Structure 1
């Protein structure tokens, strides 16, 4: 998850055609069938997505405001879209969102120096907030959980499955808090643990080179999307193109010797990802203007967008999540933030969107 249009521009600049793909010897055509659910107005940066237990979708925006939108019954031809909550009491922009206890979600964000997409965060304004539908499924409440004054840029949120009121939050960005950006040196990647009941938080993972940005693709993020599955912490590194996992204990702390395992590599700008559904070990990740399936063996296939015969459908994808309703259990919902593919990357226009991808029958 990224919060600056710089990342989109750099993604276009770094793109090189001729991606090496696996043979397409599987049921159904690639690209996978997909359709547009909604396109937000120009200037809207759609950043992340989570799915409620009833199947409705929650989508965060970074511009023009830090808000969560509600996509009702997304399996329908024309789903209803409504504003769920505007977090302007605490932040200008939202980034990550993740479910904790049923129908309760953590969102992270901060103040920024300017409302435009190319801006940097105001120092000491990052925080975690809660959006709670558990008391009233039609009208959520919100509260501030904790301020994170030492954070670089809080990004992706993942609850511990065995203790869902505790979440791990990735944190790394090179935009320093200042009005005019001049220093592009990377900040080190790190991971916070947050108790959503008390607001107590601390750093639990630091000093991993696998978290860091290297500058290989220009100034951008290192550790980005994260997930916790069974006893492993998973993450992607946007800058290096690697996918990793690390064994953790019940407190979310790395198990000695604490050495990350490399799962896959691909020359793309990874953003966020989801697991499942059929083969639950398959990772479905958003990359550079495409969505990819990653097998447990590290095989990577572009299933929609760049690298397929329909390569202009997924400009600037940011996150993905599978449906939770009986009507859409094989549907991968993907968010994005660009209207089209400009000839000049500097001419990219923000216009958030969400699409539904049918993964039925896909296998490696």
Structure 2
């Protein structure tokens, strides 16, 4: 395993909202006003959680003919795109061709209390579109990590098309993986695509060429480092959710790995699946984290809880 230091003391965290058992929160998207949209693997639902009024957590939409939601990404202001399909959480596998992409317009929610939701594309070439990332706002192009087939897809929303953009060994599953989740979290940062490969314990990047139509050679940044989703701060540090280890670990741009929240034997961030920083001015130090409550691997072999949304104050790490 890669050597990982531990921040002492760990960063302070606070639970904003916890959902009942069993709730597997898979991903999140932070709105420009600080509210948080969360997707569920354990139900075909997207909720809105308001950190300033957590008691007003509301179901935005329950999707039909699917069982689970996965990635979510904002493409235009307050227009979010979310993927959903038929998934078996016991085997971590999906029904072939079952995934679709929907648009959630939150502007109408602010006006009327109901978001406008419409199906925009069938993602029938993708096994499971785990992570979603924006590539081009003007051209409405997003990227999707197919964690089952081990490939990156380029989704052209405007033209209703999706094709494989990159397929390399560093994105695939090994033979007989313990967890059949290969390429997982993806982010675009300064002309590079970054990704985690959970089943191979890799953190990699490749330069983006021709607007995602081709890529440079793969650089393996970390080996023996099991990550789920992640998010970059303003200093190019990657804040990585380590789902099976119940921790948040920072992959510093300088090279070190530092666990800043959670422990393998504690429930603080049990089954952390994704994270994202607040977008409001003066609030950028707040990191929102979503969890599955240890459903993928009970803490101490037996402890599980409902998935939750929590916030971590990262000030001590950034100024330390």
TM-score, structure 2 length as denominator? 0.89
Q: 1:304 to 1:92 in 2, by over 3 A?
A: same
Say whether 1:38 aligns with 2:17: yes
Say whether 1:292 aligns with 2:249: yes
2:285, 2:303 → 1: CA distance?
Answer: 32
Query: What is the aligned partner in structure 2 of residue 236 from structure 1?
Result: 196
- Considering only aligned residues, what root-mean-square deviation do their CA atoms show, in Å? 2.6
Say whether 1:71 aligns with 2:40: no
Say whether 1:130 aligns with 2:103: yes
Unaligned runs of 5+ in 1: 1-15, 174-186
Report the CA distance between 1:23 and its aligned residue.
6.7
Secondary structure class of the residue paired with 1:325: coil
2:177, 2:267 → 1: CA distance?
Answer: 22
Q: 1:299 to 1:285 in 2, by over 3 A?
A: same
Query: What is the aligned partner in structure 1 of residue 232 from structure 2?
Result: 275
Query: What is the aligned partner in structure 1 of residue 158 from structure 2?
Result: 197
1:163, 1:246 → 2: CA distance?
Answer: 22
Say whether 1:157 aligns with 2:132: yes
Query: What is the aligned partner in structure 2 of residue 168 from structure 1?
Result: 143
1:108, 1:169 → 2: CA distance?
Answer: 9
**Counterpart contact for 2:155–2:161, Cα < 8 Å:** yes
2:139, 2:256 → 1: CA distance?
Answer: 31
Deviation per CA, 1:200-222: give whole Å up to 9, x if none. Answer: 2111112x000011258614211
Q: 1:336 to 1:327 in 2, by over 3 A?
A: same
Secondary structure class of the residue paired with 2:84: strand
- How many residue pairs match? The answer is 314
For residues 1-364 of structure 1, what are the structure 2 equivalents within 5 Å?
A: 20-22=3-5, 24=7, 29-63=8-42, 65-72=43-50, 74=51, 76=52, 78=54, 80-88=56-64, 90-112=65-87, 117-118=90-91, 120-137=93-110, 138-161=113-136, 163=138, 165-173=140-148, 187=149, 189-206=150-167, 208-215=168-175, 218-255=178-215, 258-268=216-226, 270-277=227-234, 279=235, 281-287=236-242, 288-306=245-263, 311-326=266-281, 328-338=283-293, 342=298, 345=301, 347=302, 349=304, 351-363=306-318
**Counterpart contact for 2:270–2:299, Cα < 8 Å:** no
**Counterpart contact for 2:3–2:257, Cα < 8 Å:** no
1:87, 1:78 → 2: CA distance?
Answer: 23
Report the CA distance between 1:66 and its aligned residue.
0.9
Secondary structure class of the residue paired with 1:351: coil
2:6, 2:303 → 1: CA distance?
Answer: 32
**Counterpart contact for 1:215–1:239, Cα < 8 Å:** no
Report the CA distance between 1:150 and its aligned residue.
2.5
Unaligned runs of 5+ in 2: none
**Counterpart contact for 1:304–1:311, Cα < 8 Å:** no
**Which one has a larger percent strand, Structure 1 or Structure 2?**
2
